[in-house]
């Protein structure tokens, strides 16, 4: 029914999650940033 609408929402949320992972990996100064970068 609204499959295209749902797929668009999932695509946008996946892009936001990926951007947050990249942001945290580069701008977090904790030791966990290395693990986050490897998790990408």
pLDDT of residue 24: 77
| CA-derived radius of gyration, the chain | 14
pLDDT of residue 19: 87
pLDDT of residue 13: 93
- Given a contact cutoff of 8 angstroms between Cβ atoms, the answer to whether 33 and 26 are in contact is yes
Q: What is the pLDDT of residues 2-35, one digit of tens each?
A: 889 999 999 999 998 888 888 877 766 665 656 6
C-alpha 40/C-alpha 20 separation (Å) is 11
Task: Let me know how many helices (H) and strands (E) the chain has, helices first.
Answer: 2, 0
End-to-end CA distance of the chain: 33
pLDDT of residue 28: 64
């Amino acid at each position: 029914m609204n499959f295209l609408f749902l797929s668009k929402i999932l695509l946008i949320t996946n892009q936001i999650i990926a951007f947050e992972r990249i942001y945290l990996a580069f701008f977090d100064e904790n030791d966990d940033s290395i693990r986050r970068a490897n998790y990408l």
